[in-house]
Structure 1
């Protein structure tokens, strides 16, 4: 089974539309090219309106309408309305007084503005207003009890912060717009399961999205260079589509590598723990198309080689977790999840050597409020002093890591071996760690 980036912008909308309109015939593009008698068309429209009075489901899709045709019909009990593929320049005011309306499909019209009268629709849970001419999403839209909002293929430049009020929103499709930044308030959409932000102008993925229970995330065709480390918290994520981005971390030239390895090795080797739930849950592989296009290839049973890689990854993550535990328990400090970054200036490791045997490292360069980040030269001096101390204390040569393993975060497992060997040595009475 392969899952690639969707070629159209209305894939989810079509599926949802079929869900919301199970008994309504959908528009057939071929029919519109046939010669139809005007009288026949008028009678067909009349029948659609008459049926809507009885059924509560209004379907006038694909009729090239510019004006709302239902003025002479009592449609106030309508619960589902499909006005898609017409030529409406505005949402008909008459539709905004359908109090029981639960589903409204306005796909492929010429609508430029969402009227404030739409807040009358306090039963509305599904709104598709994609492929129109919207440049702004009004704030009042998010006072509705929406569960699905599809506004793809418009001219949106931004998303209002008020979107955080849409507590019931489960699917959001804002693909194919001109959005440059996503508001942090999107992190409050705690019901959101599917997010499609494909084909926009995004350069950064907000950390706040990592708090969401996302199952599907599509941010393909943007300008994203990095997946935030915080996205390790997306434990329910099953599908991620990221092709056509200038990815640097992790690099786009990843081929036939499992998603878990991809996300949790390339990005997350610095993590506190490895999320085994994703590893028991499903097996996924990334396929690179000439180093540019990335997509999923899901297999039900991994090969022996992949199993071995996954097991090796698990062992490495366990060793990194043990390294962090050793440092925290011995020095009585709490390290950040990014262990590699916390060790790369050598300060913590030098303190550890002095904890094992006082004055093992005579001088430690430490950051200050004035200079919160050490220069690379001082970081290297700390690291070399730590390794020299390890030698003098008796750590075997074959268990000593190299400076670049620490300075460049390239070998946390080897650093863990060195730290473990240091801790296994007979030590003097440990002194208290003064300043980190």
Structure 2
């Protein structure tokens, strides 16, 4: 497929974080870009400012006339879109070139030197750190989150080197052809797709076989490759970790060199692991350790990954995308590390009925470790309800008496009634919008006092 012959690109689900990065890429390359999404968002607003035409009603009549020329139009869709989607079915029935998001990402990057970041946790932060490092060599990076340094999920460089988030959902990462790759973790997830954890592991093995040059893996994973770890023997070892002036300082031993006093702003050992994976990939590629060190010191993070919405002496509000028990535990460890003597309230919105059902006991154990718990209803995303699977079921399994159900209407009041000074809001659904409403309500009294 010759992308140079494509004039128009139409995205179905254009507001998705992975889809919008590709839409930005085509817009930057002077293609006509348009698309559909279910609801307006900050992402769709930002795309519209780039002259991307977006509509929010699934009707064939809403497709711009110029995009109805099938010889000049490529259609890209996300697997999260319903099979009954009218526009998608119109394009399929009329023999347009229609690709999944993962397929077009594979097409864009197959002619580049590709660095792929895979894993059930840590993909977005690791690929964003790596993209920040590789910006020095003009790599183009497609990210699964908004990198704070760029306020974008696309770091636009040249077409010779690419950094991609290799997503295991729907086996998407098997469409990629990475030269260098890492695997951060292989915990069970997406069992609605895979059925059993063993099938998920098999897909990671298949991904590892597609890596042409070097594979880097977190130590302990059952896949051969260069290893990385904290305070353990590994090909890339971070050690001498300490917190100074609110940031991590650590040393790294590579297979051939040692570099001291790396500074890194993101809290939590899991983020040091993410930084170490990115360092290893960039080092294998050939970026100097001194330049990697400079990039790590200036990396500001990813939106909705331990993002501070309010940070004062009296109140802290933290936003994080964590939606799997392992991720919740990582946030808990980071917040305890930063605020060891404070009470912590967690507000959690479960994501998907199937994931809640598959990991109900693990979710309950992870949430029980906070001082107070507020539970929102399950965010369904692409799923229909499952009988008996709801937030009340999860609440009853949490072994902590300071717990209750809440909703969007009561949320601010419930947080204000809490004894905790530290509040973390977790989840992959529309809790990312709710937290801005909470922030605004807590900032209002301060604004009025001025």
Q: Same fold (TM over 0.5)?
A: no
Please classify the TM superposition score into its range, dividing by the shorter chain length.
under 0.3
Q: Which structure is larger by alpha-carbon Rg, 1 or 2?
A: 1
Higher relative contact order (CA 8 A, sep 6+): 2
TM-score by length of 1: 0.25
TM-score by length of 2: 0.25
